[in-house]
Amino acid sequence: MKTKINELATLPNRLGILNMTRLRMLVLGLVVLAALAGCARLPTPEVREDVSSATSTEDGAAANVIRIGAAVSETGKYSREGRDTRQGYGTWLEWVNNEYGGIDVAGKRYQVELVMYDDEGDPDTVARLVEHLISEDRVDFLLGPYSSSLTQSASAISEKYDKIMVEGNGASESLFERGFRNLFAVLTPAGNYTQSALKMLAEQGAKSVAIAYEDTAFPTSVAEGAQRWAETYGLEVLGVETYPRDVADVSGIMAKFKEAEPDVFVGGGHFNDAILFIRSAKELDFNPKAMVITVGPSNPKLVQEVGADAEYVIGPTQWEASMGYADEHFGTAAEYAARYEARWGEPPTYQAAESTATALALHLAIEAAGALDTDSVRTALLDMDIVTFYGPINFDDTGKNASKPMGAIQVQDGEILVVAPGHAAVSELRYPAPAWKDR
Amino acid sequence: MMARVWDRLARLGQGWGGLGLWWLLLAVLALYPYIGVTHLTLFLGSQVFVLVILASNWNLIGGMTGYVDFGHAVFFGIGAYVMGILVTKSPLLISPEWGFLQALPVSGAAAAVFALLIGLPTLRLKGPYFSIAMLGTFVAMREIVRVLRPLTGGGVGLNLPPVLNRLGDYYLMLVLMGLVVSVMWWIRRSEFGQSLIAIREDEIGAEMRGINTTLHKILAFMIAAFFTGVVGGFWAWQNTFIDPDVVFIETRTVEMVMMSMLGGLGTVWGPPLGAVVIYVLQTVVWGRLFGIHLLALGILMVLLVLFLPEGILGMSGRGGSTSLGRLLGRIRKRAEP
């Protein structure tokens, strides 16, 4: 102990503080003081605040081009969904320039230039690219990146420069609790994901519900919404459990729920979680009358993975090609799907459809505003009340599309069929699901 | 001839001349915004400064002391979360705008305290065991943050007030970078730094010669953690949003290691140089090779580590331990009859 104290006492000496000559210390101090004094006298440097769009400058106006920017993952962890997003934006872009003849702003036609960069799924990169899009590419408007967390980073920057950002791939409710004026989302917010399904199940006689969800932003919003809607429709909540991301086993939660015997099981997470829920329910002979699982059932891969056990599983969906929505631009949802498949060689996912709808909403708002400035377009977005191939779009004050009901699908005989909401449904709900041993 | 120039440069870098040139560069960078810049340039500037700070700090523990820390980003994460929690939950801050500056040193201090607590057991481990222990600490901290939901927001994360000030950020990080690199320069010259290098070369030998190795290692670790924590706090503020998955990214540590290695482990000027080179490569390659740029960058990194294990500044005259160094040495010998 004593040696340690001695060590400490001699530390400054050994760190070299006292070895430095006094003269050098003095010079150092003077230089620092002089530098500080110099700093105090200097005025604040001027940063070019000019982030006005290229269109408002002369050459832009002559070319009649509206420039729209987006940072969307092409590589990194969101590369798959990012590609759907890019192709969704691309579908709109080719249509608006080649078929529609450009955006009509107060009688004048503008071609659209879409500047897209790869954000690599990285928040630093997305920030740099959005900054680049605004201050170097001078875009007029922005479309959103893929995922809630990247939209968090990107929208703070568009808000700072007072640029409109319309997005279709960030469903987390916390995006719209920040008081941003320039962020608009066409997709149904996460809180409403289970609304259609729970309403329908309550009408069919379900009395109780148990909820399990992954502890990340999006599933949390889904589960909080599910509790709210359960209350609204008179379903008793018998249990709420969370589990961590990339969970490998959910049998503990399912065993607990088996004791509670709920009519409805709600599971929120990712694709693999859906498989886990179905498998462990079967293993433990947990027999809810309906299973509602957020991500997974609407993906044909689920039926491939778990086969007949996927029967009767219900899943919320943002959009399906079989839904009965239509507009004058892309026609019906099915016609949009055919157009998309002809162009990209694969059927559209709902991420692709909502990306096209995102761009379309911005397009229609610009036309309704008849101007390109942020304030006019914002007003037009807030006033918007339309129906598209993707569903109704009507933004509330926070920028959420609160009017669009979430669809629900059910796996019936190996097919994914829309069962809610009523006007979009193509099949009747099968309820209650038989017990595992009776299948 | 080349070798002599290189030796002179090395001596200059360690001497007062090196610090003088560094301050001259800082002064130029401080005046740079006056020639008219955009917010993008300022933002890119502050991003580079952040990387320089991170690389320099990693180098202090990984390069100078020789404890290869594969979980150093844990301090970045702690700083980010202390910032996030303070600006969203603490009633003590004066205002969102200035509260940030109040919370910044706290972010660093929290990281330094954590370094003390975790360093006491882990710095007793040698070689790869320390590296793995720190990697474990890093992963564990990500899970702890996820579980401490009332405080950290769990997987949902925290929204910070979106008060972006690119000019302020630029100067803040410029000052911090100037300070950090000056501290590294001073440590490298001081007896403290010489002791760290002695520990790296032969820890038992250093202990025999009367160096309190535990004290030195812990101090170096805490200094490195402090500045990394400050930068983490700054990052949280600048990104306006944190959750466990954007804060605790493995690649952040990998970047620190790469930048230090590329520039030259254990040197003062290597890590800053490495940080700048990697940032430029990342942004330039990003612009030219859209789509396959990550692959190109990865291959480049492998090549650099294979042929330049001692980094750019390790290429100095006697650098006979690297294949490229040997090659250059042979060429030089031929050129000098």
Contact B212 A160 (CB under 8 A): no
Closest CA–CA distance from residue B334 to any residue of chain A (Å): 43
Q: Are A114 and A166 in contact (CB under 8 A)?
A: no
Interface contact A135-B38, CB threshold 8 A? yes
Cβ–Cβ below 8 Å for B34 and A174: no
**Nearest CB to B159; choose among A174, A215, A244:** A174
pLDDT of residue B250: 83
3-state secondary structure of A44: coil
Q: Is B189 on the interface with A (CB under 8 A)?
A: yes
Q: B-contacting residues of A 87-126, CB under 8 Å?
A: 117-118, 120, 122-124
Is the minimum CB–CB distance between B254 and chain A shorter than 8 Å? no
Cα–Cα distances in angstroms (integers) from residue B187 to residues A18, B196, B278, B303, B316, in the given order: 14, 9, 25, 31, 21
Residue among A152, A220, A244 minimizing CB distance to B240: A152
How high is the mean pLDDT of chain B? 85
Residues 236-295 of A with CB under 8 A from B: 244-245
Using 50, 70 and 90 to split pLDDT, how confident is the model at B333?
low
- The DSSP code sequence of B234-254 is HHHHHHSEE-HHHHS-HHHHH
Strand-pairing partners, residue A410, are: A314, A417
The HSE-up count of residue A391 (CA atoms within 13 Å, CB side) is 29
Closest alpha carbon within chain A to B148:
A215
Test B159 with A177 for CB contact under 8 angstroms.
yes
List CB contacts (< 8 A) between A178 and chain B.
Answer: 159, 162
How many whole angstroms separate alpha carbon B295 and alpha carbon A79? Answer: 14
The answer to whether B296 contacts chain A (CB < 8 Å) is no
Q: How far apart, in whole angstroms, are the C-alpha atoms of residue B82 and residue B87?
A: 9
Q: Is the dihedral of CA A402, A404, A409, A415 positive or negative?
A: negative
What pLDDT band is residue A4 in, cutting at 50, 70 and 90? low
Per-residue confidence (pLDDT) for residue B320, from 0 to 100: 47
Residue A398 has φ and ψ, to the nearest 5°, of -85, -10
Read off the tokens for A352.
């692709």
pLDDT of residue B252: 87
Nearest to B224 by CA among B83, B332, B68, B26: B68
- Mapped onto helix, strand or coil, the DSSP state of residue B71 is coil
The answer, for A35 touching chain B at a CB cutoff of 8 Å, is: yes
- Reduced to 3 states (helix: H, G, I; strand: E, B; else coil), residue A179 is coil
pLDDT at B272 over 70: yes
Higher pLDDT, A48 or A359: A359
> Does A58 score more than 50 pLDDT?
no
pLDDT tens column, A97-147: 999 999 999 999 999 999 999 888 888 889 999 999 998 889 999 999 998
Is there a contact between A47 and B167 if contact means CB atoms under 8 Å apart?
Answer: yes
DSSP-H helix ranges across B123-165 = 128-147, 149-152
- Phi/psi for B125 (5° steps) reads -80, 150
User: Which residues, at least 6 apart from A185, have a Cβ–Cβ distance to it below 8 Å?
Assistant: A144, A166, A167, A168, A170, A171, A175, A176, A399, A400, A401
The confidence score (pLDDT) of residue B245 equals 87
Å between B25 CA and nearest CA of chain A: 13
| pLDDT band, residue B317 (cuts 50/70/90) | very low
- A220: closest chain B residue by CA: B156
Overall average pLDDT of the A220-239 stretch: 92
Run of H or E including A201: helix A195-203
B9: left (phi over 0), alpha (psi -120 to 50) or beta: alpha
DSSP element (H, E) containing B51: helix B39-59
Residue among A39, A47, A244 whose CB faces B39 most closely:
A47
pLDDT at residue B225 in the model: 97
pLDDT tens sequence across A258-282: 999 999 999 988 788 889 999 999 9
Instruction: Supply the pTM of this predicted model.
Output: 0.83
Give B292 to chain A, closest Cα distance, Å: 9
Return the residue in A3, A125, A131, A240 with the most chain B beta carbons within 10 A, the one to mutate for interface testing.
A131
Q: How confident is the model at residue B319 (pLDDT cuts 50, 70, 90)?
A: very low
Is the model's pLDDT at A286 over the cut of 90? yes
CATH of domain B2-335: 1.10.3470
So what's the pLDDT on residue B162? 85
| Residues in chain A within 8 Å Cβ distance of B146 | 215, 244-245
Residue B256 to chain A, least CA–CA distance (Å): 15
**Between chain A and chain B, how many beta carbons pairs sit less than 8 Å apart?**
132
Q: What percent of chain A has pLDDT over 70?
A: 86
Residues B50 and B231: their CA atoms lie apart, in Å, by 7
pLDDT digits (tens, 9 = 90+) for B218-267: 999 999 999 999 999 999 999 999 999 889 988 888 888 888 888 888 88
Cα dihedral across residues B102, B107, B110, B111: positive or negative: negative
The residues near B302 (Cβ < 8 Å, ≥ 6 apart) are: none
CB-CB under 8 Å, B164 with A220: no
Q: Which of A398, A389, A334 is nearest to A364 (CA)?
A: A389
- Give the pLDDT band (50/70/90) at residue B337: very low
pLDDT tens by residue, A291-339: 999 878 887 888 888 888 999 999 998 898 888 889 999 999 999 999 9
| pLDDT tens sequence across B137-193 | 999 999 999 888 889 988 888 999 888 888 999 999 999 999 999 999 999 989 999
Is the alpha carbon torsion for B255, B261, B265, B271 positive or negative? negative
**Contact assessment for residue A384 and residue A368, using Cβ atoms and an 8 Å cutoff:** yes
What is the DSSP track for A22-41? HHHHHHHHHHHHHHHHHHHH
* pLDDT exceeds 90 at position A439: no
Q: Residue A98: how many CB atoms within 10 A of its CB? A: 10
Distances in whole angstroms, Cα of residue A329 to Cα of each of A84, A165, A399: 20, 22, 23
What letter would DSSP give residue B61? I
Cβ A356 vs Cβ A330: under 8 Å:
yes
Contacts of A124 in chain B (CB under 8 A): 47, 239
Question: Tokens in use for A111?
Answer: 């071609």
Nearest residue in chain B measured CA to CA from A16:
B190
Cα A131 to its chain centre, rounded Å, is 20
**What does the alpha-carbon distance between residue B85 and residue B90 come to, in Å, rounded to a whole number?**
7
Q: Hey, is the C-beta of A178 within 8 angstroms of any chain B C-beta?
A: yes
Q: Six-digit token pair at A174?
A: 């916390």
Q: Given an 8 Å threshold on Cβ–Cβ distance, is B33 in contact with A124?
A: no
- Min distance B329 CA to chain A CA atoms (Å): 36
List all residues of chain A from 155 to 174 with a beta carbon under 8 Å from chain B.
156-157, 159-160, 172, 174
The CA distances from residue B6 to A251, B2, B14, in Å, are 65, 6, 12
Tell me the chain A residues in contact with residue B192 when contact means C-beta distances shorter than 8 Å.
14-16
Q: Give chain B positions within 8 Å (CB) of A152.
A: 157, 159, 240-241
Residues in B 128-157 with any Cβ partner in A closer than 8 A: 143, 146, 149, 154-157
Question: Which residue(s) pair with A386 in the sheet?
Answer: A393
**What structural domains does chain A harbor?**
54-188+323-393 (3.40.50.2300), 192-317+406-438 (3.40.50.2300)
The ipTM, to two decimals, is 0.81
For A153, which of B36, B166, B240 is closest by C-beta distance? B240
CB contacts under 8 A, B 61-90 vs A, are: none
pLDDT of residue B335 exceeding 90, the answer is: no
Does the pLDDT of residue A52 top 70, yes or no? no
A393: phi then psi, degrees, rounded to nearest 5: -125, 115
Q: Does B212 touch chain A (CB under 8 A)?
A: yes
Tell me if A124 sits within 8 A of A80, measured CB to CB: no
Q: Rounded to whole angstroms, how far apart are CA atoms B200 and B206?
A: 9
Do the Cβ atoms of B157 and A244 come within 8 Å? no
Indicate the SS3 state at residue B159: strand
pLDDT in tens, A336-374: 999 999 999 998 988 899 999 999 999 999 999 999 999
Helix, coil or strand: residue A183: strand
Beta strands in chain B (DSSP E): 158-159, 241-242
pLDDT digits (tens, 9 = 90+) for A144-193: 999 888 999 999 999 999 999 999 998 888 899 889 999 999 999 888 99
Out of B155, B162, B167, closest to residue A215 by CB: B155
Higher-confidence position of B323 and B85: B85
Per CB-CB distance under 8 Å, the chain A contacts of B165 are none
Which of A213-222, B129-138, B198-207, B308-317 shows the lowest per-residue confidence on average (mean pLDDT)?
A: B308-317
